[in-house]
Structure 1
Amino acid sequence: MFILVNLKAYPCDPVAVARAARDVADAHGVRIAVAPQAADLARVEATGVETWAQHVSPVEHGSHTGSTLAEAVEANGAEGTLINHSERRVTLAAVDDALAAARRTDLETIVCANDPEQAGAAAALSPDAVAVEPPALIGGDVSVATADPEIVEGAVAAVNAVDPDVELFCGAGVSTGDDVEAARDLGATGVLLASGVAKAADPRSALEDLVSGI
């Protein structure tokens, strides 16, 4: 199982979270990555943790003020990027262009989707993974794998029907080892989470709990 911790714009210490994630990953032999804000990518990467971007823009070098260029993300240490998170939605055409931008720099990609239908459409664009995250459950106390397991099962089936080489992750409400275990049992190969770690009083303890489900 892959665990990706999205720090969003929460008022946490990204370096402290990154160090905790690195230490837990090393201690348990688990793949854990941290996705900080773009301005913090280099600081987080310097800790040695696997580092991801929260977004890359569907653009090339040029007049694109305010964009997040894939080349800049890669130069600052990111190994992958989220695309189309529910809080950073783009059109399907823009998803395709963002994937092309990520491929220019060999960034691994996760395209987020709201439901199984969108997951299947995203898989047709050949990202490395699709993450199904029902927006209503994001930031909540109940994980999608518990609240609506049919969404995860449906997304697994939809993605496999389109391209079995694309992995299926799930997110929304994931915060415990039980949530990770439930996601795995439903066929997901990774989880996305944010507040469960970024807003935790003790991020390391939260991460230790998460990996207990693997």
Structure 2
Amino acid sequence: MFVLVNLKAYPCDPVAVATAARDVAEASGVRIAVAPQAAHLDAVAETGVETWAQHVDPIAHGSHTGHTLAEAVADAGATGTLCNHSEHRLTLADVDGALDAAERTDLETVVCANNPDQVAAAAALGPDAVAVEPPALIGGDVSVSTADPDIVEGAVAAAGAVDPEVDVYCGAGVSTGDDLAAAADLGAAGVLLASGVAKADDPRAALEDLVSGV
């Protein structure tokens, strides 16, 4: 299982979370990555944890003030990127362009989607993985794998019908080892979470509990 921790813009210490994630990954053998704000990519990458960008734009070098360039996040130490998170939605054309930018810079990709139909559309664009995240459950205390297991199973089936090489991750409300185990039982290859770690009083303990479900 892959654990991708999105720090969003939460008021946490990104280096402390990254250090905890690195240590828990090394101790458990579970693959854990951290996606900080773009300004913190360098500092997080320096901890040695697997580092992801929260977003890249469908642009190349040029006149693009305020955009996130794939080459810049790669230079900062990122090895992957999220795309189309429910808090930063893109058109399908822009998702395709962002994936092209990521491929240009050898960034691994996860495209977020709300439901199995969107998962199928995203999988058709050829990302490395898709993450199914019903918006109503994001940031809550109930995992999608518990509240709506059918949507996870449906997402796995939808992606598999389009491209069996595209992994499916489970997001929204994931925070415990039981959530991780439930996601795996439903066919997910990983989880995408944020507040369960970024807002935890003890991120290391939260991560240790999370990987206990593997």
Find the counterpart in structure 2 of residue 147 from structure 1.
147
- 1:36-47 paired onto structure 2 within 5 Å: 36-47=36-47
Sequence identity (%): 79
Find the counterpart in structure 1 of residue 125 from structure 2.
125
CA apart distance, 1:156:
0.3
| Secondary structure of the structure 2 residue equivalent to 1:48 | coil
| Secondary structure of the structure 1 residue equivalent to 2:164 | coil
Cα distance in 1, alignment partners of residues 57 and 162 from structure 2: 25
| Secondary structure of the structure 1 residue equivalent to 2:27 | helix
CA apart distance, 1:95:
0.2
What TM-score do the two structures reach when normalised by structure 1? Answer: 1.00
In structure 2, runs of 5+ residues without a counterpart are: none
Opposite residue 70 of structure 1, the aligned amino acid is: A
Cα distance in 1, alignment partners of residues 189 and 213 from structure 2: 12
Cα distance in 1, alignment partners of residues 28 and 153 from structure 2: 27
Cα distance in 2, alignment partners of residues 104 and 185 from structure 1: 34
| Structure 2 residue 92 is the aligned partner of structure 1 residue 76 | no
CA apart distance, 1:176:
0.2
Cα distance in 2, alignment partners of residues 47 and 102 from structure 1: 23
Cα distance in 2, alignment partners of residues 185 and 93 from structure 1: 33
Cα distance in 2, alignment partners of residues 39 and 56 from structure 1: 13
| Secondary structure of the structure 1 residue equivalent to 2:8 | coil
- 1:94-133 paired onto structure 2 within 5 Å: 94-133=94-133
- 1:153-168 paired onto structure 2 within 5 Å: 153-168=153-168
- 1:180-195 paired onto structure 2 within 5 Å: 180-195=180-195
Opposite residue 126 of structure 1, the aligned amino acid is: G
In structure 1, runs of 5+ residues without a counterpart are: none
Cα distance in 1, alignment partners of residues 25 and 75 from structure 2: 23
Opposite residue 148 of structure 2, the aligned amino acid is: D
| Secondary structure of the structure 2 residue equivalent to 1:125 | coil
CA apart distance, 1:167:
0.3
| Secondary structure of the structure 2 residue equivalent to 1:191 | strand
Aligned length: 214
Cα deviation digits, residues 174-209 of structure 1 (max 9, x gap): 000000000000000000000000000000000000
Dislocated runs of 4+, deviation >3 Å = none
Cα distance in 1, alignment partners of residues 66 and 213 from structure 2: 39
CA apart distance, 1:39:
0.1
Find the counterpart in structure 2 of residue 13 from structure 1.
13
Cα distance in 2, alignment partners of residues 159 and 37 from structure 1: 29
What is the RMSD computed on CA atoms of the aligned residues?
0.3
Cα deviation digits, residues 40-63 of structure 1 (max 9, x gap): 000000000000000000101111
Opposite residue 149 of structure 2, the aligned amino acid is: P
